[in-house]
Amino acid sequence: DIVMTQSPDSLAVSLGERATINCKSSQSVLYSSNNRLYVAWYQQKPGQPPKLLIYWASTRESGVPDRFSGSGSGTDFTLTIDSLHAEDVAVYYCQQYYSPPYSFGPGTKVDIK
Amino acid sequence: EVQLMESGGGLVQPGGSLRLSCAASGFTFSDYYMDWVRQAPGKGLEWVGRVRSKGQSYTTDYAASVRGRFTVSRDDSKNSLYLQMNSLKTEDTAVFYCVRVKSGGAFDMWGQGTMVTVSS
């Protein structure tokens, strides 16, 4: 099974500043036949279901603000929130959908400093 | 409007059974793989299981923690997804989300969730 880890557990960022969340997979999630990374990022606000932000490690879901971006390769991935807005306070999860069980990272809580 | 709505949650004793349902609307349900994901109170997300589409013979996959106890099924004629849960344990207490799997595999639509509490 693929294990996803995230760092940090939580972070506090000033409004307008950048937030960076890291995620690591225990094995490669690169599918060689299509050269795609099977990693997604989700945002979950209190009392709400998760929302898909990024898939294929770097493709923004429709309607997601462009201050959210994803990057990575092999086994290391990053979600960046440029210019943090108040509404970005949430827990962020990475996930691999390369092979079942489709595991999530433990989450990173983002707050305002 | 594209929507997933879960129902069937509640309080059940350890060892008991419960069947969750998810009603889909606003999209061609039969075209999509569908999953269940759960979240224990104050905890992270745990994938539970998947049922693929008719084209993939409705095959299923499960997390090890529920395999043999839970069954994911679907009725495309009713645009509905189900989760039959047997031999429930206290550690199964969670909000259960119905999830649509977009082409490629990411989870692009989530229901609001239904709470399952396993307690004596």
CA distances from B107 to A109, B55, B103 (A): 20, 19, 9
B50, B97, B107 ranked by CB distance to A100: nearest: B50
DSSP class per residue in A91-105? EEEEEE-SSSS--B-
Element (H, E) at B25: strand B18-25
Residues B4-21: tens digit of each pLDDT: 999 999 999 999 999 999
Residues A16-75: tens digit of each pLDDT: 999 999 999 999 999 999 999 999 999 999 999 999 999 999 999 999 999 999 999 989
Rounded to whole angstroms, the Cα distance separating A24 from A67 reads 22
pLDDT band at B74 (very low <50, low <70, confident <90, very high): very high
User: Chain A residues with CB inside 8 Å of B107's CB?
Assistant: 40, 42, 50, 52, 95, 97
pLDDT band at B43 (very low <50, low <70, confident <90, very high): very high
Q: What confidence score (pLDDT) does residue A74 get?
A: 85
Q: Does B78 have pLDDT greater than 90?
A: yes
B106 interface with A at CB cutoff 8 Å: yes
A60 interface with B at CB cutoff 8 Å: no
Minimal-distance CA residue of chain B relative to A46:
B42
Task: Tell me what the mean pLDDT of segment A97-104 comes to.
Answer: 98
Rounded to whole angstroms, the Cα distance separating B47 from B38 reads 6
Closest approach of chain A CAs to the CA of B78, in angstroms? 24
Rounded to whole angstroms, the Cα distance separating B90 from A66 reads 42
Give chain B's mean pLDDT: 98
